[in-house]
Homo-oligomer: A and B are copies of this chain.
């Protein structure tokens, strides 16, 4: 199962690692970011996926089958408490000629060993065949 896990000292650090793993299609890195708990993941349009193993399986499937995407993120909102942090993130994902904008609510929880992701709720904001021209 999980052996020596990476340690994240803040929700921001865990989030940075989450998007780096996504961006690099690195399923092993993705496995470090989630709590080994009843975590929740909703990919855009998907059912609710519950539990570490099922969530990781879904990410392995996405990351294995994906063309290497280019992901730009904008953190739109941060809700902060001692033990829970909630970020609202706009993900701008370009894969080849395809572009999708996704809104994600990411929830991080503080464990004795550091901050880990416990929920990712993504929903599609916009999709187009051609990536938009960004300034």
Contacts and interface: CB of A to CB of B under 8 A. Distances in A.
Nearest to A88: B40
B82 A105 contact: no
Given A81-B82, A123-B123, A88 B48 contact: yes
A79 B44 CA distance: 21
Interface in A73-102: 76-77, 79-86, 88, 90
Contact of A77 (B44, B47, B79, B119): B119
Contact of A123 (B42, B50, B107): B42
A98 to B, nearest CB: 19
Given A47-B125, A77-B40, A88-B121, A105 B103 contact: no
B103 A119 contact: no
Given A40-B76, A45-B123, A48-B90, 18 more contacts: A38-B77, A40-B77, A42-B103, A44-B123, A48-B103, A77-B119, A79-B107, A79-B118, A81-B83, A81-B84, A84-B84, A84-B86, A86-B86, A105-B107, A105-B119, A105-B121, A122-B123, A123-B124
Interface of A: 38, 40, 42, 44-45, 47-48, 50, 76-77, 79-86, 88, 90, 103, 105, 107, 109, 118-119, 121-125
